[in-house]
Amino acid sequence: MLQILPDYFLQISQSEIINSRQISHLKLTPNGLIQIFLKNGDQTYSSRRYLKSIKERLQL
């Protein structure tokens, strides 16, 4: 599925793909998860396994 989506879509977990243009900010939680806040007020989580690809996509 990810292969047919535009480049700005980002896999953040085994079952979730989000539009990276809609990310407001990120927060590292004490238990090692990345909390992702979206511009519409929603939030989701990603494991550290996906942190490298998230940082690369967001140029952090």
37-44, long-range: CB < 8 A, 24+ apart: 44/12, 44/16, 44/18
Confirm if 43 and 24 have CB atoms less than 8 A apart. no
Domain ranges of the chain: 2-58
Q: What is the average pLDDT across 35-56?
A: 93
Average pLDDT of the chain to the nearest whole number: 91
pLDDT at 1 over 80: no
Q: Is the pLDDT of residue 17 over 90?
A: yes
Q: What is the mean pLDDT of residues 30-52?
A: 94
Residue type, 16: E
Contact 35, 45 (CB under 8 A): yes
User: Is residue 46 over pLDDT 80?
Assistant: yes
DSSP type of residue 33: P
